[in-house]
Amino acid sequence: MHNHFNGAKTVFLFAALMGIFLVFGAIIAAATRSSAFIWIFALIGVASVAYSYWNSDKLAIRSMKAVPVTEQQAPAMYRIVRELSTKANQPMPRLFVSPTMAPNAFATGRNPQNSAVCCTQGILQILDERELRGVLGHELMHVYNRDILTSSVAAAVAGVITSVAQMFAFTGMMGGRGNQGGNPIAAILLAILAPFAAVLIRSAIGRTREYDADEDGARLTDDPLALASALGKLERGVQQAPLPQSQQLVNTSHLMIANPFKGGGIQKMFASHPPMADRISRLERMAGRPLR
């Protein structure tokens, strides 16, 4: 397993969230000449930090409209996850399925004892059981490497930032009419910069965690080529059935095993996933031979 300094990264994310709320409070305090807003936004920040920590798994699951499944409903998922969890001497996570046909999977939660793994209907249809085992091994290693708290909190932080930015854009514009104390210029800047900050926070998690989860998952399953084959199918499947780029899904996209959106240009600069061809090549080198 790999050490990604996730404890330090999580503290950084919480500090960033608090800092952003304090900045928002300071802007309103300056516009209204009332320091009370700094304390109000500080309290909101504390509440958001607590909520993000305890509900990080629920936020990601909800964004994908996923539902828990029983062993009768998803026997292959249960069989694979039970086998790999036992092999790793770790607790078995809760299992969910998202109804979307966009092929993908992700893990979420604050620790291995409170974790969840979700597959979409799309990925369950396009992968065979060997490939699904490779994907689930990858997701379980995100759990065991303690990536999931950092990633889930990043999703929650990004959601809070963009929500507050949208609130500022609306209230700032409305308040600016008739010189009634609003600051539309500040609202426009926040509407632009806050989502940008959310992207930077997601990017700060680092692409290395995907390479490491690929490597560790392949060692857990003893089958690097199974994951390589799955990644190739996922890349083609996402191009055929990408997720809609709603803000809620954008905020959780870094949790998924494959980038769920089509896109290029500036989006590649802030992509949370490394190139799929590089990931496949690394897995082929692990196996000592190419996939085909």
pLDDT given for residue 111 in this prediction = 84
DSSP 8-class letter at 206: -
Find the mean pLDDT for residues 215-226. 96
CA distance linking residue 215 with residue 285, whole number of Å: 11
The answer to whether 129 is a known catalytic residue is: no
Closest to 164 measured CA to CA, from 261, 252, 247: 247
Enumerate domains of the chain plus CATH numbers: 6-61+149-204 (no CATH), 67-146+206-287 (3.30.2010.10)
More confident site: 159 or 226: 226
Pairing of strands 105-109, 67-68: unpaired
pLDDT given for residue 203 in this prediction = 60
Highest mean predicted confidence (pLDDT) among 37-41, 136-140, 202-206: 136-140
Query: Mean pLDDT for the chain?
Result: 80
pLDDT given for residue 84 in this prediction = 97
More confident site: 157 or 29: 29
The 10s digit of each residue's pLDDT in 236-252 is 999 999 998 887 787 77
CA distance linking residue 231 with residue 227, whole number of Å: 6
DSSP class per residue in 53-107: HHHHHHHHHHHTT-EE--TTT-HHHHHHHHHHHHHHT-PPPEEEEE--SS--EEE
Residue of 139, 215, 235, 284 marked active site:
139
pLDDT given for residue 178 in this prediction = 44
23 pLDDT exceeds 80? no
Indicate the range of 98-102, 111-115, 180-184 predicted with least confidence: 180-184
Closest to 168 measured CA to CA, from 266, 252, 53, 44: 44
- Residue given tokens 């990017």 in the structure block: 203
Q: Which two tokens stand for residue 21?
A: 């709320």
Cβ atoms 146, 6 nearer than 8 A: yes
More confident site: 2 or 133: 133
Find the mean pLDDT for residues 128-136. 98
Find the mean pLDDT for residues 197-210. 66
In angstroms and rounded to an integer, the radius of gyration of the C-alpha atoms of the chain is: 20
The 10s digit of each residue's pLDDT in 156-191 is 666 666 666 666 666 654 444 444 445 565 556 566
Find the mean pLDDT for residues 90-109. 95
